[in-house]
Structure 1
Amino acid sequence: MSGKLEGKFAAITGAASGIGWASAKAMLDEGATVVLVDRDADALARVCAEYDRAQPLEVDLLDTQACKNLVPQILSLTDGTLDIFHANAGLYVGGDLVDADPDAIDRMLQLNVNVVMKNVRDVVRYMAPRKTGDILVTSSLAAHFPTPWEPVYASSKWAIDCFVQTTRRQIFKDGLRIGSVSPGPVVTSLLSDWPEDKLAEAKASGSLVEAEEIAEILLFMLTRPRGMTIRDVVVMPTNFDL
């Protein structure tokens, strides 16, 4: 540990597994105190047991009232300080549009788009008066390419990529930075909904990225000089071919 985030307070949604846990672990290893937000209480308890500075916060972000109360709950665990917020929680809907369940579409758009916007809004309202803070958003390579096997998911990420870029232009005057990381296929539970032929093809060719590799990029974004914003990082396995 080099202590690059020593004394910082961070919060991460969807933090009990995948990119969220890798991000939390990287920040904890660099000295931050991290609030891990997730709806899976058992998974939170398991991962937080590894670190004294890991604070579990069980929240279902699809619950409208719970979503509204997220930032106050985070601040109650961090002595009223929040330096870093990573909006990572998300859902995946793949396959042909005509086969998608309408309720699943609603849940995914709510979590991938609406919840991110509302959480970031509340975080900005807290950070702006302090004139400093970092916001990270987990996007996807699908935000940059009209992926034919995931039109619903890709649309949610195109929306959030636009949100990050436009919000940056509103908040930089307050000393705040916002940026997104857009990975290609990462080894996480979201891939369980991938079409089987695509998943098998990706595994066979070695065209998957590990969550820990994404966490390294997030740390890079956080540790740039304050006068530099990494707005969007697109990363994919070398062997990945759309």
Structure 2
Amino acid sequence: MAKLEGKIVAITGASSGIGAKTAELIARRGGTPLLMARNREKLSELAGRIGGRCETYELDVSSASSVERVFDLVHKRHGKVDVLVNNAGFGKFVMFEDTPLDDFEKMMDVNYMGLVRCTKAVLPPMRSAGSGQIVNIASLAGKIGTAKSAGYAATKHAVLGLTNSLRQELAGSGITVTAINPGPVDTPFFDLADPSGTYAANVKWFMLTPDQVAMSIVRAMERGRAEVDLPAVAGFGAKLFHLFPRTFERFSRRFLNLK
């Protein structure tokens, strides 16, 4: 089991929710979380809670120049990033026909291309060092599409496709690639994705907490896991979907389409 003590861990989307809780856990385990997000004020608040073992960086993953600037600074300070957690992302739950093209483009630019930009920034130094880990926060939506999530689910399908391909490319390099696929998580994500609160209320009994997901992320880092589905029962459902897609859809439609 790999220890996080002394490791430099960059976390995008770190200002709240899963990213913030993951940063707190990493600091407790002796790692140095690099908190990255657009909201400098929230980053400062989080850094104050964590204490001295962290750094903050104002980062917009949808901007190539912002990504280049921030990671150049990180590499000058630390040489390389030991672990990159690609966590930044957002979603909007709207019917396909009612979703503006601009929303499709923005979700893909942040959720997928943002991940691509950050991964490209850290990979060369990891290659040179012969070690590192890339952790991509995907979603069970990347395995099972549901109504009102066409745009968001498409971005997470893309994330999983990239993750699986990159894992093959980096086999034997000393760099591990991990996908974390949570179901619904009780975070500010739903403030934008589900402003009415209808979906969040319908799946409240099933929702994960940010602490649960953060603990799974940290354990996956320590164990070098390739993939983690959360909760496990939902991961089993995803496997059934891929084996029997039409049958699964017919029997699960009422349960899955709660938006």
Structure 1 distance, partners of 2:233, 2:163, is 26
C-alpha deviation, 1:196, in angstroms:
3.6
Q: Distance in 2 between matches of 1:70 and 1:186?
A: 28
- Identity value in percent: 24
Letter in structure 2 aligned against 1:75 = H
**Per-residue displacement from partner, 1:198-242 (whole Å, max 9, x unpaired)?**
222112xx1110011111111111112xxxx42221113869952
- Which residue matches 2:56? 56
Structure 1 SS opposite 2:61: coil
1:235 and 2:230 equivalent?
A: yes
Structure 2, unmatched stretches of 5+, are 238-254
Distance 2:79 2:128 in 1: 13
Separation of aligned partners in 2, 1:143 and 1:68 = 27
The superposition leaves residues 85-124 of structure 1 with CA deviations (integer Å, 9 ceiling, x where unpaired) of 1010001121101111222222111011111112112211
**Structure-1 separation of matches of 2:150 and 2:27:** 35
Moved more, 90-99 or 136-145: 90-99
RMSD: 1.9
Q: Secondary structure at the match of 2:27?
A: helix
TM-score of the two chains, using structure 2 as the length reference: 0.85
Counterpart residue type for residue 72 of structure 2:
P
Give the corresponding residue for 1:153: 152
- SS at structure 2 position matched to 1:168: helix
Aligned-residue offset at 1:30: 0.4
Letter in 2 for 1:234: D
Give the TM-score taking structure 1 as reference length: 0.90
Q: Which runs of 4+ in 1 moved over 4 A?
A: 237-241
Q: After TM superposition, give the deviation of residue 157 of structure 1 in Å.
A: 0.2
Alignment of 1:54-133 (within 5 A): 54-77=54-77, 79-133=78-132
SS at match of 1:92: coil
**Greater mean deviation of Cα atoms: 64-73 or 23-32:** 64-73
Contact 2:178 2:227 in 1 (8 A): yes
Paired letter, 2:87: N
Contact 1:185 1:236 in 2 (8 A): no
Aligned mates of 1:202, 1:160 — CA distance in 2: 24
Tell me which moved more, 61-70 or 174-183: 61-70
- Gaps of at least 5 residues in structure 1 are none
**Whole-Å separation in 2 of the counterparts to 1:230 and 1:145:** 21
